[in-house]
Structure 1
């Protein structure tokens, strides 16, 4: 008998705010977290804008001495996890620590640390490289530090599936609880990729928008889209076995009911034609949830604002839903957050459960010129009230990783 799993806590650090409430408020208002690239010298790159986290202070969560032993992506992860656990009012102590796990991934991990320490190594030799270099850099350190700070001793894992990381992490954590291996999981993704080499690499493979206007650079499904805007942050949820949540009187945002994960086996960066892998991920998630396609009211799209992704994701939705594709709503919140890579699925899962809980659909902003290949209902340019009962959140990553999670209104 599969156990039912619900979302009881949310935490976020994003370009739109340093907690989940501020982030959600700004998304519904259609505000943009995209601005001029300030962390690097924009003159050195073809991309001129980024979605940077603003005014975040890790010392609100971790002492300075300890914070200096962590990369920026771990700062975001630890803060978001602390907020999610506090929001869930989940007490972790000796009585339950081994039943509470952490599954938080990162697409790139501590690249900023790698770059800085390589510079030290080149100039001053190996003796001057930080002893914390490796534990700061490796992607699993976010999940490791979260478990240390919160005392969670259960399943502890890290997924690295590029832009599908956050969604895969939440899906995998959901399965851990569903099969009875934990009563609660702290799950999501974290990323801090606004670094010299990361931005250089994405510019070199022409994935980033070269539009210098922060207001229109991220424009998913628009005919004039020309690439994604790089973003940073973390999105973490607390998943909990339903009976455990009810027994302690927990606040329930939504129920997580399905998970699909597939591989394209096609190309290192380009999606498979027609979004074939995404088709299978959505179908598996819907089937796993015990739903039929017509039950889905809203999709939080991967919607990166790249020419191929938006076209193929639209084709995939039509393939899965048939006529119903034109009746459901679909939006890309990356139009406001930018693309948080491994953290995207974590933040977008939060948007998905809040849309269900509050009956309001976040918009796709900056949509001006319709694309004949993208002709679905993208909730353009303003949020919309809607009584929705079931939603999907899609994430598609380099390497051909596709992940979809399904949420249902909790009843």
Structure 2
């Protein structure tokens, strides 16, 4: 059994929130950095999730005429930045996000020279081998062909560099891997970065699965018919909870995963249920303490049903009181970065005590009228939140955060 599995099994017999020494081991989120279709920075991310006014436009750097949809989400153009389709686009987003997150962490905690790892989540397996690029850049190398983004200055990464690639669940998995590195004492600090661009391979692959929708992501809607993909670079700094660490945004309490589905392109509720239960067990948190969920909810016909059924299995009669929000209605589906940017939205929600609604609920599916999809104010600001991600092939991951 893996370290995470053993920890989850041990915690399953407890079923209560962490206290004492166990609570002190929960990693602290100290820094955030993001480039999304809303723009650069967490305020731009928060704004687009509130208003839906992001950068969605026609794909022009490859032919999409036979796919049935032409629109994708893009990080707004910046002077001198590599444009979509250029090889340096992905590492540019990666390093801008990581640099911003580390700067945010330094501002909150002070400059501390501690062993730091990188866990990189991406579905890109071709034009930019992310870990190779990162290592060459962080060590000052200039020989790599995708090194056009070096002017931003290299943060020091002297711990493991791990790349995670389990499709749309990669970003959430990366957060869990980072938590295990910290809880097991491998390093003192981990940068989790989810990054993906709009590539021809991904776009046409998803189109061949009939997953793309010309109307965009419409979670929980009667007219939901699939996803709209977006590019994104999102980074989160996690640190061991020590006396030297100032209070951060939130704590990562636990995570859980499963690999179970009867059809490769859609999740089953049984697999999602297992991931949710395992995450709560690893966090030593009773289901009754959960008061916010940032759902995967990509707006597919079967996926939204499976996820809400899984939450009903775990939360039962309490589910209508828990805000269940999808930010994909505002951001689109950020692919391998989805789990990271949605974790950041979960952390910001807990830190700010404000729940943003799922956008586009004008034609919500009536079978969910009894649920709070972020369109009703919660009884109190949430203190324990969960983000859920589901990837192609049956990969389901849930991560639990708390406000303190």
TM-score, length of structure 1 as denominator length: 0.82
- State yes or no: 1:21 paired with 2:54: no
Q: Aligned runs of 1:228-377 on 2, under 5 Å? A: 228-243=227-242, 246-248=243-245, 250-264=246-260, 266-272=262-268, 275-375=269-369, 376-377=371-372
1:197 aligned onto 2:201: yes
Residue 58 (structure 1) shift: 6.7
CA offsets 1:173-216 (integer angstroms, 9 cap, x no match)? 01110111111100131111x223322221121000023xxxxx
1:80 Cα deviation after fit: 0.3
Question: What is the root-mean-square deviation in Å for CA atoms of aligned residues?
Answer: 2.4
Match of 1:9 among 31, 36, 61: 31
Q: CA deviation at 1:161?
A: 0.6
Residues 120 and 130 of structure 2 are in contact (CA less than 8 Å); yes or no, is this contact kept in structure 1? no
Aligned to 1:43: 65
CA contact (8 A) 2:52 2:331 kept: no
2:105 maps to which residue? 88
- 1:274-322 CA-to-partner distances (Å, cap 9, x unmatched) read x111101111111111111110001000010111111111111101111
1:9 to partner: Cα distance: 0.1
**Secondary structure at the residue paired with 1:26?**
helix
Gaps of 5+ in 2: 1-20, 140-153
Deviation track 1:156-185 (CA, whole Å, cap 9, x = no partner) reads: 211111000000001110111011111110
Contact 2:255 2:399 survives alignment (8 Å): yes
Contact 2:323 2:378 (C-alpha < 8 Å) held by counterparts: no
Q: Name the CA shift for 1:184/1:404 in 2 (closer, same or farther; >3 Å).
A: same
Give the corresponding residue for 1:102: 118
Q: How far apart in 2 are the matches of 1:265 and 1:23?
A: 32
Query: Hey, what's the Cα distance between the residues in 1 that align with 2:247 and 2:138?
Result: 23
SS in 2 for 1:153: coil
The counterpart of 1:159, out of the listed 160, 164, 172, is 164
Question: How far 1:385 sits from its partner (Å)?
Answer: 9.1
CA distance in 1, matches of 2:57, 2:69: 11
Measured in 2, the distance between the counterparts of 1:299 and 1:330 equals 5
**Equivalent of 2:91, from 64, 74, 96?**
74
Q: What corresponds to 1:144 in structure 2?
A: 135
- Determine if the alignment matches structure 1 residue 185 to structure 2 residue 202: no
1:305/1:57 Cα in 2 relative to 1: closer, same or farther (>3 Å)?
farther
- Are the aligned partners of 1:167 and 1:345 in contact in 2 as well (CA < 8 Å)? yes
TM-score, length of structure 2 as denominator length? 0.83
Aligned length: 363
> Does the Cα contact within 8 Å between 1:32 and 1:335 map onto a contact in 2?
no
Is this contact kept in 2: 1:30–1:363, CA < 8 A? no
Q: Which residue of 2 aligns with 1:31?
A: 53
Judge conservation of contact 1:14–1:23 (CA < 8 Å) in 2.
Answer: yes
Task: Give the 3 Å change call, closer, same or farther, for CA 220–39 of structure 1 in structure 2.
Answer: farther
Contact 1:362 1:383 in 2 (8 A): no
Change (3 A) 1:58 1:343: farther
Instruction: Work out the CA distance in 1 between the residues paired with 2:251 and 2:122.
Output: 24
Counterpart position of 2:373: 378
CA distance in structure 1 between the aligned counterparts of 2:156 and 2:391, rounded to whole angstroms:
31
Distance verdict in 2 for CA 1:88–1:57, change over 3 Å: farther
Q: Judge conservation of contact 2:51–2:330 (CA < 8 Å) in 1.
A: no
Instruction: Give secondary structure in 2 for the equivalent of 1:311.
Output: helix
How far the C-alpha of 1:266 sits from its partner, in A, is 3.0
Aligned partners of 1:218 and 1:366 also within 8 Å: no
Q: What are structure 1's unaligned runs of at least 5 residues? A: 114-136, 212-216
Deviation at 1:269, TM superposition (A): 1.6
The 1:145/1:327 distance shift into structure 2, 3 A limit, reads: farther
Q: State the match for 2:12 in structure 1.
A: none
Distance 1:104 1:408 in 2: 23
1:5–1:337 distance in 2 versus 1, CA, 3 Å: same
